[in-house]
A and B are shown apart, each in its own frame.
Chain A
Amino acid sequence: MTTLTVEANNLTRIYGGREAVSDVSFTLSKGEVLGFLGPNGAGKSTTMKMLTGNLAPSKGSVKICGVDMIENPKEAKALIGYLPETPPLYREFTVDEFLSIAARLHGVSGKHIKAAVQRAKERCGLTEMSKRLIENLSKGYQQRVGIAQAIIHNPMVVILDEPTVGLDPIQIRDIRALIKELGGEHSVILSTHILPEVEMVCDHVQIIDKGKLVFNGSIDILKQQRHGNKLLLGLTNAPANDELLKVPGVEDVETLPNGFLRVRYATGKAPAEALVQAAVSKGWGLHQINPDQTSLEDVFVQLTYQDAVA
């Protein structure tokens, strides 16, 4: 299905003359998970606040399932579940009490509240914490309660601002699984600065830097950038680079400071086998051969750095 759940048009937010977010536009379809990336202070949270109606945009508009956030805030907000950067928790309540309040305020009808609370607890692994005061929960569990309150009314769009901060690795895995699951029926927008996370759970990625969208596309494009046509070779008796260039498909050889060689090859060619054969027959002493992946971090730095130069 390709129904648009979120439409952001030219969102701009000015703080004291400085544009914290400028001209951000994107759309999100049902069932997609959108990852929002960016360095600190890039405007991720500001954008999310505008999407959820917590902040009025200076320019531009937000539509949730076709409902305008500025003209019909109540209808639009009913379609959203939002977990802000700091989970909004009333510490004096127990998990059950708090989730019931969240359900009631989000318009879940009286007789469905119990079931909704139960479901949200199950999804976030909170069933054993029902009667505990939120105040006494660990940070990880508080974070889960935050996520639970965001999904309790089964919203069309779930917006999570750094949902995995402060969780232990097992919890992070659970939450990622939950986000993937949510992505099935809802649209999810999450911001993070943990890059592998984006790769694991998101279909779409947006990189925002200094308030501007520098990358907006599917995760596959990002992955392609990442996997460039490069091999990393470790040779004990490395020949002159010219020797290597004779191997069919090799286009460029570069010696790295740590003694490894980076071999670039033409798209579509796979010179790995030929390289190994050449290495064996000529006694180069091959001890390692790897596809050279630019880490997502590098791609990220490239994208945000390019912008800084330009």
Chain B
Amino acid sequence: MILKVARKELKSVFASPMGWVILALLQFGFGTYFLNGVNEYFEVMSGAIRPAERTGVTMFIGQSVFGLASFVMLFSVPLLSMRLISEERRSNTLPFLFSAPLSLTEIVLGKFIGLVAFLTILVAMIALMLCTLNAWADIDFGYLFSNVFGLWLLVASFSALGLYFSSLTAQPVVAAIITFIALFGLLIVDRFLTGDDASIANYLSLMHHFQPFARGLIDTADITYFLLFIITFLTLTVRRLDADRLRG
């Protein structure tokens, strides 16, 4: 049943031009960065740098593409997640889901998976694009995997947060703005408290947990952080919807 809801969500993204436009525009952006990266690699690495300081092509291009991707997702996920529940609230379609034989958890998980599936397409396209480097170079698949996995966890967390804020309001735009501010806050919270490595703010920061992945390090603590983050917000969403049913 969860997948049926997810399928409906995915279909609804592609039913309007929005899904295609976002895919196309973002892919265009990533593609441009990718090409730039390839060009620059030759310029930067063409002898001016000592061999010891040279980095691999995967890392060089990966850094710029994934850096851009995590930043762009910060804007695009709120735009995609905003309508998940608030749009249904506004056009009175929630009773349709509530009176179908679905539990609230199934509805919320279905919507979450639907959005993550869409974002997975984006992430997969980036991964494929970088894999094409393998045609003429030996690329570091480990580094690539860690980055793709990290980015995927990051956008999944963004989606969970977006889904929750979308459940709070009947105005998609409000949901998008709140989501964006919250994500931005969580991303930069560690910038303000850089000194203390063990501070709570540091621990809460999404970026802080994404950086190891960007360096090619898969740490279970970070995976757990992202999973907890997702579970927390999905649970909150279920509870918010349940309150609808209880309080009316």
Contact = CB atoms under 8 A, between A and B. Distances in A.
Interface of A: 13, 15, 46, 49, 52-56, 73-75, 77-78, 80, 82, 84-86, 88-93, 97, 101-102, 104-107, 149
A88 B93 contact: yes
Interface core residue of B15, B95, B99, B100 (most chain A CB under 10 Å): B99
Contacts of A88: 91-96
Interface string B100-142: 1111000000000000000000000000000000000000000
B60 interface: no
B248 A92 contact: no
A80 B15 contact: no
A75 B103 CA distance: 10
A55 B248 contact: yes
Given A15-B248, A97-B11, A104-B4, A90 B93 contact: yes
30 contacts: A49-B95, A49-B248, A53-B98, A53-B99, A53-B245, A54-B95, A55-B245, A74-B101, A75-B101, A77-B102, A80-B99, A85-B92, A86-B92, A88-B96, A89-B93, A90-B91, A90-B93, A92-B16, A93-B11, A93-B15, A97-B15, A101-B11, A102-B96, A104-B4, A104-B7, A105-B1, A105-B101, A106-B101, A107-B1, A107-B101
A77 B99 contact: yes
Nearest to A82: B99
Dominant secondary structure at the B interface: helix
B193 interface: no
B182 interface: no
A93 B12 contact: yes
Contacts of B91: 88-91
A17 to B, nearest CB: 13
Interface in B1-45: 1, 4-5, 7-8, 11-12, 15-16
A204 B1 CA distance: 36
Q: Interface size bucket, B side?
A: 20 to 34
A74 B102 contact: yes
A135 to B, nearest CB: 10
Nearest to A85: B92
A269 to B, nearest CB: 52
B246 interface: yes
A101 B8 CA distance: 7
A256 B94 CA distance: 53
Contacts of B94: 88
A91 B11 CA distance: 13
B181 interface: no
B131 to A, nearest CB: 34
Contact of B5 (A15, A102, A105): A105
Contacts of A105: 1, 4-5, 8, 97, 100-102
A289 to B, nearest CB: 51
A54 B98 contact: yes
B248 A13 contact: yes
Nearest to A87: B92
Contacts of A74: 101-103
B248 to A, nearest CB: 5
A149 B5 CA distance: 16
A54 B98 CA distance: 6
Nearest to B87: A90
A56 B241 CA distance: 12
Given A77-B99, A82-B95, A88-B91, 5 more contacts: A54-B99, A74-B102, A77-B100, A92-B16, A93-B11
B19 to A, nearest CB: 10
Contacts of B101: 73-75, 77-78, 105-107
A85 B93 CA distance: 11
A49 B247 CA distance: 12
Nearest to A94: B15
Contacts of B100: 77, 102, 105-106
